[in-house]
Amino acid sequence: MRIRLVLVLATLLLAACGASVATTNEATPTDSASGMPDMGDGDGSFAFGEPGDPKMVDLTIRIDQLDPFQFTPEMVEVKAGETIRFVVSNRGATDHEFVIGDMAFQEQHESEMMEEGSGMMTSEPNAVVVAPGQSIDVFWRFTTPGTYVYGCHVSGHFAAGMKGEIKVA
């Protein structure tokens, strides 16, 4: 994420100085709130899957976020290639995140959240912030079998155990 941020800033600086910047017709997925590049591979895909098509849902899974620091259910099972509609409902009194990723992604995101000190991220294709009393749909297609994680990285939540497991067969 830092490398992309540096590249974005360098591009803006070059453009401000009058230098031409090469562009392509292929858009990089960005967070609609911040306009920053997503944390995936730049093409909308991640090592653990890709955003799902809301018109092609194979399975709906309801995830509740509870205080203190808990998801229910704590484990879900899906099949590779299925498009999953996660209905994420915050039943707690504080904001929570819902971040899908492998453990390496979760650890990287946790580290970035601690460094940035904000304790809260903006929405990405694989991650959303859910306010108390709200529900948000996340559409995801897991492309590779394995064990993945969903977690909340609001300051201290992930370390306190606010995570769940996704088994993809």
* pLDDT per residue as tens, the chain (169 positions): 333 333 333 333 333 333 322 222 222 233 333 333 344 445 567 889 999 999 999 999 999 999 999 999 999 999 999 999 999 999 999 999 999 999 999 998 888 887 766 555 666 889 999 999 999 999 999 999 999 999 999 989 999 999 999 999 9
DSSP labels, 64-80: EEETTTEEESSEEEE-T
What confidence score (pLDDT) does residue 113 get? 82
What confidence score (pLDDT) does residue 112 get? 83
pTM to 2 decimals?
0.73
Residue 101, burial from CB neighbour count under 10 angstroms (0-12, 13-18, 19+) = buried
What confidence score (pLDDT) does residue 25 get? 25
What confidence score (pLDDT) does residue 135 get? 98
CA 157 to chain centre: 16
- In whole angstroms, what is the distance from residue 25 CA to residue 123 CA? 24
What confidence score (pLDDT) does residue 118 get? 57
What confidence score (pLDDT) does residue 56 get? 97
What confidence score (pLDDT) does residue 145 get? 97
